[in-house]
């Protein structure tokens, strides 16, 4: 225990550790500011779009008013009737957009959700006698996406949830894996449906979707994973331990556990920072926010699946808990790999790059028994990986088991390598 | 000169740098083999793409014909026109599929244009075609350019045509990831001098701070240029020796962000020039950071953070040819506009000079802590 507390103190008291921790926190905060700026731009875009429509229908209303007066003077009943109808239509549309603009500016999401639901229902669940296809730039929006978008809005309306910032000049579409857009339409769809979370947990959720977890684990390994290699390769502090009445195995596990706990602490801090920054800037967010989870596939034919496949939503709270569990397991695997590589290469940055490349190459081989397939925790929790590979064996439990299994193998290799090296050094 | 030679020798003797150069060649060779092996798949995908369009047209045609038989001929002129256009479009699509299958490249380009023109007309009759009008207009523009240059259409992600393959290599290697690894490999021996305290040995030499900083910077730039040389030369050599043989291959047009064209020749030329200029900036930033921070681990983490944030900015539309750091994603920035941004080059030189001056200033502060 004493050696463990000594190692921990060494790590924490290191100036480099503290500086790197501060820099990581600063980086996440800077990225938040960029993200926030993009969200503001989207907000402006939507407001400008509303303004444009308000002006357009106002002008339309004025034009029809003039035509109506002219028809009254000319006593042309037919034109008068048309002008009256069109003027009324322009007036009501103008009022609608005024209301939408006001609701958007005041973040009165209930009104916006109600409007969205009305529009989305027509396409998501069209009556059998009136089949309707929704298109985006002439390419079809799949029925699955329409249903998911509708249900998401409905869920948020029922639970009074604040949404992410999104370009809602068309509809509040939720992009899904069933989308099959191509070319320029795909780029436009991505731009149109891109969401920006300004609130603390929403921002964290978006970071997780961008492989934040493996990145911070890798940085954590870079900062805390050199407990052994720096003593052997860099400054030979291992000689100091060799003269102490310590068992070799005990020394190995102490160094190993200290580094791992350091990484865990780092991961927890780095998960907390986005929440803290977001909360300070724009509130905490709603833990009930719906996360789409795919229920798997019905057939192997995508055309049928888009209509028949089902889905459900889980609250963000559950999603984050599952992410945390996977992050803990994943950090063990990446750290163990890093520890192993660091026994052979003294430069931490090279270790980081090698582990990064190995992890990336590992993700290219999708197999339920490949632990690297579970690196993207978002795809595992939402079952997206099951649809990508058409294999329902990819589950969280399986991910945890195989990751722990491989971690144990690497741990054994670490120990063997340590024993071998210390024997060659003639100490221990 | 002796100082540069000394620094350069230090780098060349690094096994990891030599390994990195060899890995680069191996990676480019593997990429080429993969592209070559997937050529049949490219053709199959293209055929599948138009088959999907064809089935979309067929399903509408069947419905329209059924309706026409219900209401009788001559009752709805728009419906009749839709059927007529649909039939022609279907026939053209079949013809196009045949020419793609039989490698009739030039004829296929002409037919593709005919298909898109008919498809736009079909859409104007309130019918569906799974491409938007701007998309089809872009394709027609590209096909016309290719017809003019007598070049077959290439899949930009899987091509063995030398000019297109060079673009793919630039996109995959001369980017954030490539520059970061290069910098870490060639920069670490310099940053490490502060950790190992060997910098003290350099300090006792009768050389000025300016000479010391500039020598280190030049040696880093030279090493970076060696890597770029390997990238461009191996991509060109491999694809030229084993790739497809076409005339005037460097006339192949690439779309810019403005939807104008940049020829492959101009693209490669600009890529070479701006990657070297970016090396100037990058190495000066690295030297400046090393002399300011004097700790390898912190220098590396700062670089990692800077690269990550810059990548995020670029991906979110913050890239501009005027900004020196935008060239971190070379392909993306070169393809912003047709013309090269020489103002961007001047700005890059200015940033380089500022960074080097800062490094010189920092190197004069020699009471560093280890």
Distance from CA of A71 to the nearest CA of B (A): 33
Binning pLDDT at 50, 70 and 90, where does residue A427 land?
very low
Where does the pLDDT of residue A242 fall: very low under 50, low under 70, confident under 90, or very high at 90 and above? low
Q: Scanning every residue of chain A, which has its alpha carbon at the shortest distance from the alpha carbon of B369? A: A15
Residue of B nearest to A207 (CA): B312
pLDDT in tens, A174-190: 999 998 888 788 888 98
B158/A contact by beta carbon, under 8 A: no
Compute the distance between CA of residue A378 and CA of residue B9 in angstroms, rounded to an integer. Answer: 47
pLDDT tens-digit readout, B198-207? 887 777 878 8
**CB contacts, 8 Å: B295 with chain A:** 16, 19
pLDDT at B72: 81
Confidence of residue B228 (pLDDT cuts 50, 70, 90): very high
Q: What is the pLDDT of residue A376?
A: 94
Run of H or E residues at B356: helix B342-363
Region A38-48: mean pLDDT is 90
pLDDT reported for residue A315 = 96
| Residues whose CB is less than 8 angstroms from the CB of residue B355 and which lie 6 or more positions away in sequence, other chains included | B281, B284, B285, B287, B288
The pLDDT of residue A374 is 95
What does the angle CA B58 – CA B64 – CA B68 come to, to the nearest 5 degrees?
A: 140
Note the residue count of chain A.
428
CB B308 within 8 A of CB A27: yes
CA A357 to each of CA A210, A267, A362, B177: distance values in angstroms, whole numbers, following the listed order: 17, 20, 8, 11
pLDDT band at A24 (very low <50, low <70, confident <90, very high): very high
| Rounded distance between C-alpha atoms, residue A224 and residue A17, angstroms | 8
Interface contact A347, partner B, CB < 8 A: yes
Kindly report which listed range (A235-244, A417-426, B210-219, B292-301) carries the lowest average pLDDT score. A235-244
Q: Which residues pair with A312 in a beta bridge?
A: A293
Rounded to whole angstroms, the Cα distance separating B260 from B253 reads 9
Q: Does B26 touch chain A (CB under 8 A)?
A: no
What six digits make up the tokens of A237? 């502090």
The set of residues, in sequence order, having a beta carbon less than 8 Å from that of A39 and lying 6+ positions away, is A165, A196, A197, A198
B133 touches A: beta carbon within 8 Å: yes
A251 pLDDT band, cuts 50/70/90, is confident
Decide if pLDDT at A234 tops 60. no
A17 touches chain B (CB under 8 A): no
State the nearest Cα–Cα gap between A40 and chain B, in angstroms. Answer: 13
* Contact criterion met (CB < 8 Å) for B297 and A16: yes
Average model confidence (pLDDT) across chain A: 88
pLDDT for residue A235: 60
Give pTM, 2 decimals. 0.85
pLDDT at A133 over 80: no
A233 has a pLDDT exceeding 60? no
Q: What percent of chain B has pLDDT over 70?
A: 98
More confident residue, B12 or A407: A407
CB B185 within 8 A of CB B20: yes
Per the model's pLDDT, the better-predicted residue between B171 and A132 turns out to be B171
The DSSP string of B117-175 is HHHHHHHHTT---SS-HHHHHHHHHHHHHHHHHT-----TTS--SHHHHHHHHHHHHSS
What percent of chain B stands above pLDDT 90?
Answer: 64
SS3 letters for chain A?
Answer: CHHHHHHHHHHHHCHHHHHHHHHHHHHHHHHHHHHHHHHHHHHHHHHHHHHHHHHHHHHHHHHHHHHHHHHHHHCCHHHHHHHHHHHHHHHHHHHHHHHHHHHHHCCCHHHHHHHHHHHHHHHHCCCCCCCCCCEECCEECCHHHHHHHHHHHHHHHHHCCCCCEECCCCCCCCCCCCCCCCHHHHHHHHHHHCEECCCHHHHHHHHHHCCHHHHHHHHHHHHHCCCCHHHHHHCCCHHHHHCCCCCHHHHHHHHHHHHHHHHHHHHHHHHHHHHHHHHHHHCCCCCCCEEEEECCCCCCCHHHHHHHCCEEEEEHHHHHHHHHHHHHHHHHHHHHHHHHHHCCCCCHHHHHHHHHHHHHHHHHCCCCCCHHHHCCHHHHHCCHHHHHHCCCCCCHHHHHHHHHHHHHHHHHHHHHHHHHHHHHHCCC
Q: What's the average model confidence in pLDDT over A146-167?
A: 93
> In chain A, pLDDT over 70 holds for what percent of residues?
93
Among A11, A138, A229, most B C-beta atoms within 10 A, so best to mutate, is A138
pLDDT digits (tens, 9 = 90+) for B40-77: 999 999 999 999 999 989 999 999 999 988 888 777 88
Residue B236 sits at the vertex; the CA angle it makes with B233 and B237, to the nearest 5 degrees, is 80
As a whole-number percent, the residues of chain A with pLDDT over 90 amount to 52
Distance of CA B92 to the CA centre of its chain: 34
Residue A229 pLDDT level (bands cut at 50, 70, 90):
low
Separation CA B179–CA B183 (nearest Å)? 6
Q: Which residues of B touch A140 (CB under 8 A)?
A: 128, 130
> Quick one: pLDDT at residue A428?
38
Give the confidence band of A236 by pLDDT, cuts at 50, 70, 90.
low
Which of A271, A256, A289 lies closest to A326, judged by CA? A271
pLDDT over 70 (residue A168): yes
CB atoms within 10 A of CB B184: 23
Helix axes B39-71, B15-37, angle to 10 degrees: 40
More confident residue, A176 or A426: A176
Tell me the shortest Cα–Cα distance from A31 to chain B, in angstroms: 7
Within 38-57 of A, beta carbons closer than 8 Å to B belong to 38
* 8 Å CB contact between A233 and A260: no
What distance in Å separates residue A129's CA from the closest CA in chain B? 16
Q: Backbone phi, then psi, for B21, in 5-degree steps? A: -65, -45
B339/chain A closest Cα distance in angstroms: 23
Q: Does A349 touch chain B (CB under 8 A)?
A: yes
What is the mean pLDDT of the segment spanning A307-335? 95
Distance, in angstroms, between A241 CA and closest chain B CA?
A: 22
ipTM exceeding 0.90, yes/no: no
The residue among A336, A375, A345, A325 whose CA lies nearest residue A225 is A336
Residues in chain A closer than 8 A to B134 (CB atoms): 137, 184
What is the mean pLDDT of the segment spanning B230-235?
96
The CA distance from A20 to the nearest CA of chain B, in Å, is: 6
What is the average pLDDT value for chain B, to the nearest integer?
90
Q: Looking at the complex, does the CB of residue A328 fall below 8 Å from at least one CB of chain B?
A: no
A140 touching chain B per CB within 8 A: yes
Distance CA B236, CA B271 (A): 14
Tens of pLDDT, residues B312-336: 888 887 788 888 888 999 999 999 8
Is the per-residue pLDDT at B79 higher than 80? yes
pLDDT at A272 over 50: yes
Number of other CB atoms surrounding residue B133 within 10 Å: 15
Categorize the per-residue pLDDT at A424 as very low, low, confident or very high, splitting at 50, 70 and 90.
Answer: low
Looking at residue A230, its pLDDT comes to 62
More confident: B240 or A76: B240
**Could you tell me which chain B residue has the CA closest to the CA of A190?**
B316
Q: Which one has a higher pLDDT value, A270 or A230?
A: A270
pLDDT of residue B370: 44
pLDDT tens sequence across B146-203: 999 999 999 999 999 999 999 999 999 999 999 999 999 999 888 888 888 888 777 7
Spatial neighbors of B125 by CB under 8 A, at least 6 apart, are B78, B81, B82, B85
The span from the first CA to the last CA of chain B, in angstroms, equals 29
Chain A residue with the nearest C-alpha to that of B299? A20
Asked whether residue A62 carries a pLDDT value surpassing 50, the answer given is yes
Nearest neighbour of A184 by CB, restricted to B135, B297, B301:
B135
pLDDT (tens digit, 9 = 90+) per residue, A304-317?
Answer: 888 889 999 999 99
Residue A410 pLDDT > 70? yes
Nearest residue on chain A to B309, alpha-carbon basis: A31
């Amino acid at each position: 225990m004493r050696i463990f507390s000594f190692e921990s103190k060494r790590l924490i008291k290191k100036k480099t550790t503290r500086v790197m921790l501060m820099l990581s926190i600063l980086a996440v905060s800077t990225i938040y500011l960029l993200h926030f700026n993009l969200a503001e731009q989207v907000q402006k875009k939507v407001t400008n779009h509303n303004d444009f429509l308000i002006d357009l229908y106002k002008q339309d209303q004025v034009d029809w008013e003039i035509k109506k007066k002219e028809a009254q003077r000319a006593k042309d009943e037919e034109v008068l009737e048309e002008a009256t109808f069109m003027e009324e239509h322009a007036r009501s549309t103008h009022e609608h957009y005024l209301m939408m603009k006001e609701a958007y500016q005041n973040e009165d999401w209930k009104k916006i959700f109600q409007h969205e639901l009305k529009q989305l229902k027509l396409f998501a669940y069209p009556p059998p006698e009136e089949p309707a296809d929704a298109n985006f730039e002439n390419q079809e929006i799949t029925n699955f996406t329409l249903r998911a978008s509708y249900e998401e809005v409905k869920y948020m309306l029922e639970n009074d949830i604040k949404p992410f910032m999104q370009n809602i000049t068309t509809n509040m579409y939720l992009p899904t894996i069933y989308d099959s857009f191509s070319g320029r339409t795909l780029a436009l769809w991505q731009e149109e449906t891109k969401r920006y979370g300004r609130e603390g947990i929403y921002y964290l959720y978006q970071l997780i979707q961008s492989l934040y977890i493996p990145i911070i684990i890798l940085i954590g390994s870079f900062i805390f994973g050199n407990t052994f290699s720096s003593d052997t390769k860099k400054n030979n502090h291992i000689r100091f331990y060799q003269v102490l009445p310590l068992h070799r195995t005990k020394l190995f596990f102490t160094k190993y556990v200290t580094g791992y706990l350091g990484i865990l602490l780092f991961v927890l801090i780095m998960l907390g920072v986005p929440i803290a920054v977001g909360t300070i800037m724009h509130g905490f967010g709603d833990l009930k926010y719906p996360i789409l989870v795919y229920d798997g596939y019905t057939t192997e034919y995508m055309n049928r699946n888009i209509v028949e496949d089902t889905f459900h939503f889980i609250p963000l709270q559950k999603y984050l808990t599952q992410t945390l569990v996977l992050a803990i397991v994943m950090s063990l695997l990446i750290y163990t790999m890093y520890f192993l590589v660091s026994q052979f290469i003294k430069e931490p940055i090279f270790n980081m790059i090698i582990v990064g490349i190995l992890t990336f190459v590992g993700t290219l081989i999708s197999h339920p028994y490949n632990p690297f397939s579970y690196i993207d925790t978002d795809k595992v929790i939402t079952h997206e990986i099951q649809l990508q590979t058409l294999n329902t064996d990819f589950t969280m439990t399986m991910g945890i088991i195989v990751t722990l299994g491989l971690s144990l193998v690497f741990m054994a290799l670490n120990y063997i390598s340590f024993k071998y090296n210390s024997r060659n050094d003639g100490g221990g | 000169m002796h100082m540069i030679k000394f620094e350069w020798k230090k780098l060349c003797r690094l096994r990891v740098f030599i390994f990195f150069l060899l890995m680069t060649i191996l990676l480019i060779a593997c990429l080429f083999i993969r592209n070559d092996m997937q050529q049949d798949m490219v053709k199959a995908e293209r055929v599948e793409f138009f088959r999907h369009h064809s089935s979309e047209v067929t399903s509408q045609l069947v419905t329209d014909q059924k309706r026409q038989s219900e209401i009788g001929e001559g009752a709805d002129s728009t419906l009749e026109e839709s059927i007529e256009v649909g039939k022609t479009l279907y026939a053209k699509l079949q013809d196009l599929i045949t020419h793609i299958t039989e490698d009739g490249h030039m004829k296929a380009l002409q037919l593709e244009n005919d298909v898109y023109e008919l498809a736009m007309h079909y859409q104007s009759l309130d019918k569906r075609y799974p491409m938007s009008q701007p998309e089809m207009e872009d394709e027609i523009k590209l096909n016309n350019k290719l017809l003019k240059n007598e070049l077959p259409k290439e899949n930009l992600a899987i091509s063995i045509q030398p000019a297109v393959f060079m673009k793919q290599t630039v996109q995959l290697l001369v980017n954030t990831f490539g520059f970061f690894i290069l910098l870490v490999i060639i920069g670490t021996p310099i940053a490490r001098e502060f950790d190992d305290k060997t910098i003290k040995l350099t300090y006792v030499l009768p050389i000025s701070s300016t000479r010391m900083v500039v020598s280190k910077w030049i040696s880093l730039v030279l090493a970076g240029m060696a890597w770029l040389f390997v990238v461009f030369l191996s991509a060109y050599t491999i694809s030229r020796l084993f790739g497809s043989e076409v005339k005037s291959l460097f006339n192949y047009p690439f779309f810019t962000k403005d939807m104008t064209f940049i020829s492959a020749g101009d693209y490669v030329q600009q890529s070479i020039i701006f990657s070297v200029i970016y090396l100037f900036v990058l190495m000066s930033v690295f030297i400046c950071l090393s002399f300011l921070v004097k700790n390898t681990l912190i220098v590396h983490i700062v670089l990692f953070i800077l690269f990550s944030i810059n990548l995020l900015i670029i991906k979110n539309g913050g890239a501009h040819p005027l900004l020196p750091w935008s060239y971190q994603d070379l392909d993306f920035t070169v393809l912003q506009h047709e013309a090269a941004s020489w103002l961007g080059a001047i700005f890059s030189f200015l940033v380089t000079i500022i960074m080097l001056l800062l490094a010189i200033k920092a190197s004069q502060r020699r009471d560093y802590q280890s």
